[in-house]
Amino acid sequence: MNKLLQTSAAAMLCLSALSMQAQNTKLTLDLTKPGVAVSPMLYGLMTEEINYAYDGGLYGELIRNRSFRNNPTKPESWLLVSDGDAKSEIKLIGGNPQSVPRNEQGNAINEALTSCLLLTVEKPGTRSGIANLGYWGIPVRANTTYSASFYVKGAAQTLPPAFGRNNNNANNQTIVPIANNTAGPITVSIESPDGKTVYASGTVNLANTPFWKKYSLKLTTGNVTPTKDAHFVITTNRTGLYYFNLVSLFPPTFNNRPNGNRPDIMQKMVDMKPKFLRFPGGNFLEGPYLGDHFPWKTTLGPIDGRPGHTGSWGYRASDGLGLLEFLEWCEDVKMEPLLAVFAGYSLNRDHIDAGPLLAPYVQDALDEIEYVTGDVHTYWGAKRAADGHPAPFKMTYVEIGNEDWFDKTNSYDGRFNQFRAAINKKYPKLKCISTIDEKNYASLRVVTGPKPYMVDEHYYQNSWQMQEDAFRYDSYDRKTSPKIFVGEWATREGSPTTNLIAALGDAAWMTGMERNSDLVLASCYAPLFVNVNPKNDATGEPSGMQWASDLIGYNALNSYGSPAYYVQKMFNNNIGNHVVPVTATDLPMLHIDTAGKNPPRGRKQKPTRPSLYFVATKDSKTGMVYLKVVNTADHEQPATLDLKGASTVASVGSVVVLKGDHPEDTNSITDPEKIVPVTSQLSGVGKSFSHTFPAYSVSILRIKTNSAK
Ligand code: AHR
């Protein structure tokens, strides 16, 4: 047991029921010698398509179901516009690409764009057309230019004689009710749902052709009042058949990337200063069934060639945010990719045995790594260059699979080793991460060959459990344990984003990871994003959330960080390069107040816990000491802070504090900044000084010491 734990345990024995008693807490920071080095990759991000993270989230596209493949039976998210005495209708064509009725064949643009929307206008009335609802609305901002594009063909093609597959309905030819279209303008607009307010509008001149043609235009708003509730509308005042596909609308994106991301959410990540991005999952890597895993090859190139795929969280992924976009996201946020490769295991617990059957998947992973890291002389590096990014991406870690502990057949040992051998043969410097951690799943771990370089541990717990686990890594055996990657973790209290008590649980847990960052080399909170729109019973639109308790929330127009987001930002922005050992005396304790919810894997909870958690690091170049202290108690707590071995200490430092009045306090889309960190001057600093930590708070004290190690 290390010294901190001895102190904590002793305190537990003698200080039960003392939460309100006078206390003489002292934290001693030992600056006489540096503690363990802080891992340069300690804090990163984890992402997957969950909670409408990309489609309806980070990815800039505003049109939902842009290529009409989200639902095989109806044109979901699309409405008919039929004003005045119009006689018009819309119909999904080729909704199920596996079984396209004879009278709907001949309308694909390519293998990816196989379904489309037919607008039939027999009588245009005031206007006839189609409207897209967006992801719970199309957002409108003032003085903003949007890029719209879509494919249209303006007449039915003459069908070839029936042959080949899918000749069902061969005798069921639709009699086209009207003659061919006339060429001429159609109107494209962003407008209110009732059509009375037009925020931006333009026209394109349609050709009268039975062949697909792509049209593009810009739509610019004036000094309008922002709204999240608009529709995107394309209308005509002429009779005809209008086939639509790949209807797209982009607002300005971060760094003006074409096919890019939402600036507000990107900026939130930039502000966090994460070191890596774990992607593409999570469950999204694996997919529900074999064959549904992240299809990185069909996520490359122009969006016109991307079919999208099933997804793992109950909705289809457009894959508009594909492999290169993940990598450019890393580039924009200045973080490294940490790529998870599909390892032959799906969510329905099927697996592919190691051996020849697995070999194509191993090759696919090698190709994918080459796309990320290969130079332009490699096959996939050249493909990346052709896609617009000649420079390879730096990558240190690759993860083989996701949560393979669910596979109770023990197949992971063989699968992991087959991937690792091939990866390390071609990329000896790449470090392979196993998804099975040794402590929790001893019987399922990788046993063949050398220990995996790192193992991925996941923790989703309540605040009490996270606080208790702040000491977890203090006792890992440094000689026998592989390095740890905490690839998913979160304190799950509060929804859709987490609340203050969750943020305190997170912060307590992070003190443990930071103190042990010789062992815990990398960590990332999950899930990162949530679209906070609730289920709409009137329209049948589902909720944007599949997983409660997330870090960053948004609707179509605005985004906000949870208190936990600010904890992440505070921790990442205030960290040295080595740990300063801290010992505590008279550490205050709390009793558990309610029976623990959601106990992790049947673990019994301890009846008491400290109410202060802490870690200190120092930057050896600047001499800056960062002392992080979490006070989970409902009252302020004073402590004496001793800087043992400091030769000089600046009398003025600064302190950044996140706090709230109640454990359930939180941020939300309507109250986004209720709990945010506040920085203030810290005076009276010395080799020994006292400081009071507010109730329910996370404090980071920045203390300037002599710059010697
Ligand atoms: O983060 C949500 C899910 O939790 C991830 O997709 C999966 O890896 C884990 O079970």
To test the pocket of ligand 1, the residue of 50, 458, 525 to mutate (highest count of ligand atoms within 8 Å of its CB) is: 458
Closest residue by Cα to atom 8, ligand 1, is 282
DSSP 484: E
How remote is the CA of residue 283 from the centroid of ligand 1, in Å? 6
358 Rama sector, left if φ>0, alpha if ψ -120 to 50, beta otherwise: alpha
Q: What are phi and psi of 326, to 5 degrees?
A: -60, -45
Amino acid at 173: Q
- Give 594's DSSP letter: S
Q: How far is CA 60 from the centre of its chain?
A: 14
Query: Quick check: 23 and 595 in contact, CB under 8 A?
Result: no
Q: How far is the CA of 402 from the centre of ligand 1 (A)?
A: 9
C-alpha–C-alpha distance, residues 558 and 556, integer Å? 6
Instruction: Determine the pLDDT at residue 97.
Output: 84
* pLDDT score recorded for residue 5: 33
Angle between helical axes of 563-573 and 500-515 (0-180°, round to 10): 30
User: Does ligand 1 come within 6 angstroms of the Cβ of 281?
Assistant: yes
Mapped onto helix, strand or coil, the DSSP state of residue 537 is coil
Radius of gyration of the chain (CA): 28
pLDDT digits over 516-536, tens only? 999 999 999 999 999 999 998
Find the 282 Cα to ligand 1 centroid distance in Å. Answer: 5
Cβ of 526 below 6 Å from ligand 1: yes
Q: How many CB atoms lie within 10 A of CB 238?
A: 17
Along the chain (709 residues), what's the average pLDDT of each consecutive run of 10 residues? Answer: 32 36 87 95 98 98 98 97 97 91 89 96 95 97 98 71 50 49 88 98 90 96 98 95 96 98 98 98 98 98 98 98 98 98 98 98 98 98 98 98 97 98 98 95 94 97 93 94 97 97 98 98 98 87 95 98 98 98 94 55 73 97 97 96 95 98 97 98 97 98 81
402 Cβ closer than 6 Å to some ligand 1 atom: yes
- Find where tokens 């990815």 sit: 59
Q: Is the CB of 78 under 6 A from ligand 1?
A: no
Closest residue (by CA) to atom 4 of ligand 1? 282
Q: Measure 48 CA to ligand 1 centroid, in angstroms.
A: 9
Which string of DSSP letters, residue by residue, matches 619-678?
Answer: -TTT-EEEEEEEE-SSS-EEEEEEEET-S-B-S-EEEEEEE-SSTT----SSSTTSS--E
Contact predicate 641/691, CB 8 Å = yes
pLDDT on residue 606 = 75
Nearest-CA residue for atom 7 of ligand 1: 282
Amino acid, single-letter form, for residue 592: I
Alpha-helical segments (H) within 1-100: 3-14
DSSP label at residue 480: T
- Distance (Å) from CA 526 to ligand 1 centroid: 8
Determine the distance separating the centroid of ligand 1 and the alpha carbon of 660, expressed in angstroms: 29
What is the Cα–Cα distance from 270 to 280, expressed in whole angstroms?
A: 19
What's the pTM value of the predicted model, to 2 decimals?
0.94
Ligand 1 mutation target, pool 486, 547, 552, 601, most atoms within 8 A of CB: 547
Nearest Cα residue to 566 out of 665, 677, 667, 467? 677
Cβ 48 under 6 angstroms from ligand 1? yes
Start-to-end CA span in the chain (Å)? 26
In terms of C-beta density within 10 A (0-12 exposed, 13-18 middle, 19 or more buried), how is residue 448 classed?
Answer: exposed
Q: How far is the CA of 53 from the centre of ligand 1 (A)?
A: 13
